Amino acid sequence: MCNSSPSYSERSSHLTSFVILFIHANTLISLLKVLDTSFQPFDWGAERKMNVSVQTFLQRQFDKRGLKISLNGDQPWDIQVHDWSAMLRAFLRGSLGLGEAYMDGVWDCERIDELFYRIAGGSLPVFVGLAIQTGTVFRMGKQSYAYRVGQSHYDLGNDLYQKMLDKRMTYTCAYWDNGAKTLDEAQEHKLALTAAKLHLEPGMSVLDIGSGWGSFIGYLAEKFGVRATGLTVSKEQAAYANERYKDLPVTTLIEDYRAHSPREKYDRIVSLGMFEHVGGPAHRIFFETSRRLMKDSGLLMLHTIGIPGKRERPEPWMAKYIFPNSEIPDPVDIACASRGLLRLENAQNLGGPNYSKTLMCWLSNFDAGWDSLDHSHYDERFRRMWRLYLAASAGNMRAGNMDVWQFVYSKLKRPVID
């Protein structure tokens, strides 16, 4: 059922899985009292008492849910805590505090992906920390905020992404199900799979909304002889794409898709991995804009992460450090947003495991290329932040809580107005 104001999940998908929704008042009060005493000079007895109390409390949450995760254990997915007082303060701040604590070296884990795989699959209740950004959901649909993610994430530096991604610089889920052995092969298979659904002919015009470094539009121009335009909010991406594909009929513009006004409408529109930045309030606008830009005989291909049954509230740590103004949609919300504008012709779930494997390849490439990056620009705190982002995302995808969808739409001859 389509609602004008969809409800938001009260859980976050990533780091908040460490923290407990219902904490008995007397337990919390006793922990806070112990924490207070830890700040008294030379009170080593209080410090030891705090360490034992915090470790016992946190371990109990894992044990009673059968997660088989130990604090300072010897399994590769066990959490190694270096500072118990800082861990408790981080715990009480929710995912933002826990993520920042990892960045600061308060805790470690050899296999963060396996840690989050177990947490995500263990139904561990969560508490959304005090630092949650309640206004993000309502701001993300505004054009004035569209360029923020470009500046904070995609403009970090092309050198970083060249070390991490495949040879085409494709920053979306690869496709491994047909036997790909390497990341380059899996990304090539994904591009081929996607292109096949567009029924392209030489000379067609294609618009890519959120075209990144131009991997897909470059691929389409090379393989199918189409003319392609890419839209991005990243200066770094546009500069790279325009230089790399300068000998092909491909152009990348720095422009918000809602402001795009071409002389002619497009035969095909694609959007791979951008819809997560649109936000619920603007889902309908995305489809209205796609319809406006598309010929009557056109097709739209939408590739997006989706969480069944709920639209995922922006997670505080991810929202602050990785993807500001982002929100993972519910496929039902997508159907409601396109209703009366476009006809769904095809839907395929590529599955979370495909993305998990992709993310682990990115993590491996990042680690392998770390020493050759400029550490005056990417410091140790950044390294830990980026590894946490990639590994935690891989674990959540592996647990099956999120999917990767491809939807193909045709244009209704006459839109239906509710």
At 309, which CATH number? Answer: 3.40.50.150
Same-domain status, 87 and 180:
no
- The answer for residues whose C-beta is within 8 angstroms of residue 144's C-beta and 6 or more apart is none
* Last-in-domain residue among 87, 120, 153: 120
Same-domain status, 140 and 116:
no
Cα atoms found within 13 Å of the Cα of residue 96, Cβ hemisphere only? 13
By percentage, how much of the chain surpasses pLDDT 90? 59
Same-domain status, 155 and 64:
no
Same-domain status, 287 and 400:
yes
**Is 159 within 8 Å of 373 (Cβ atoms)?**
yes
Same-domain status, 92 and 142:
no
The model scores a pTM over 0.75: yes
Q: What is the pLDDT of residue 175?
A: 97
DSSP structure class, residue 159 = H
Q: What is the pLDDT of residue 35?
A: 44
The answer to whether residue 129 sits within a structural domain is: no
Split into its structural domains, the chain has a count of 2
The answer to whether residue 417 sits within a structural domain is: no
Cα atoms found within 13 Å of the Cα of residue 194, Cβ hemisphere only? 34
The answer to whether residue 6 sits within a structural domain is: no
- The answer for residues whose C-beta is within 8 angstroms of residue 379's C-beta and 6 or more apart is none
Q: What is the pLDDT of residue 42?
A: 41
Q: What is the pLDDT of residue 388?
A: 95
* Last-in-domain residue among 96, 120, 144: 120
Q: Could you list the pLDDT tens digit for every one of the 418 residues in the chain?
A: 565 444 444 444 444 444 433 333 344 444 444 444 444 444 445 556 666 677 887 788 778 878 889 999 999 999 999 998 788 777 777 788 889 999 999 999 999 999 989 888 765 543 322 222 333 333 445 554 555 555 657 778 899 999 999 999 999 999 999 899 999 999 999 999 999 999 999 999 999 999 999 999 999 999 999 999 999 999 999 999 999 999 999 999 999 999 999 999 999 999 999 999 898 889 999 999 999 999 999 999 999 999 887 655 667 888 889 888 788 899 999 999 999 999 999 999 998 999 999 999 999 999 999 999 999 999 999 999 999 999 999 998 998 888 999 999 999 776 655 5
Same-domain status, 115 and 150:
no
The answer to whether residue 5 sits within a structural domain is: no
Bridge partner residues of 176 (DSSP): none
The CA-atom distances, in angstroms, between 46 and each of 29, 36, 50, 54, 296 are: 15, 9, 6, 12, 73
**Is 327 within 8 Å of 139 (Cβ atoms)?**
no
Same-domain status, 237 and 361:
yes
**Is 223 within 8 Å of 195 (Cβ atoms)?**
yes
Same-domain status, 175 and 300:
yes
* Last-in-domain residue among 120, 155, 190: 120
The answer to whether residue 126 sits within a structural domain is: no
In which domain, by residue range, is 108 found?
A: 15-120
The answer to whether residue 7 sits within a structural domain is: no
The answer to whether residue 403 sits within a structural domain is: yes
Same-domain status, 156 and 272:
yes
The answer to whether residue 54 sits within a structural domain is: yes
pLDDT in tens, 83-124: 987 887 777 777 888 899 999 999 999 999 999 898 887 655
Same-domain status, 151 and 241:
yes
Same-domain status, 175 and 115:
no
**Is 53 within 8 Å of 34 (Cβ atoms)?**
yes
Same-domain status, 275 and 343:
yes
